[in-house]
Amino acid sequence: MKFRYLKNVVTLELDQSKCNGCGLCNEVCPQQVFALNGKVSSITDRDACLECGACVRNCAPGAISVRPGVGCAYAVLMDMFNIKSKCCGDACGCSLDDIEY
């Protein structure tokens, strides 16, 4: 299930000048945030990013950056799995009511 939480809060960045077009970011992204256009990846749905970091760990040329677990997605996932942890809600004001399913 693909969802979006808050708009314009994701830390995901892609430097297309470093991209080698391998497409691994697209393959490992659980939210299909990336697409391969020709020989270069692009971000097609930034607000759907979970900030899980799978893309960064699989990007050999270092074209992608994201701060895994720092965004609202962390709080949402912890709640979904009923894991008690510090929530970012106090810091950023996010709420589970802000999720679009």
User: What integer pLDDT is reported at residue 72 of this predicted model?
Assistant: 60
Task: Give the CA radius of gyration of the chain.
Answer: 14
Percentage with pLDDT > 90 across the chain = 42
Distance CA 22, CA 3 (A): 26
Structural domain boundaries in the chain:
11-68, 69-101
Number of helices and strands in the chain (H, E) = 4, 4
Residue in 33, 4, 8 with CA at minimum distance from that of residue 100 = 4
What dihedral angle (degrees, nearest 10) is formed by the CA atoms of 56, 58, 64, 67? 0
CA torsion angle for 99, 28, 24, 46 (degrees, to 10)? 0
pTM value is 0.67
At 10-40, the pLDDT tens digits run 889 999 999 999 999 999 998 999 999 989 9
Quickly name the fold that domain 11-68 has.
Alpha-Beta Plaits (3.30.70)
CA distance 76 to 89: 10
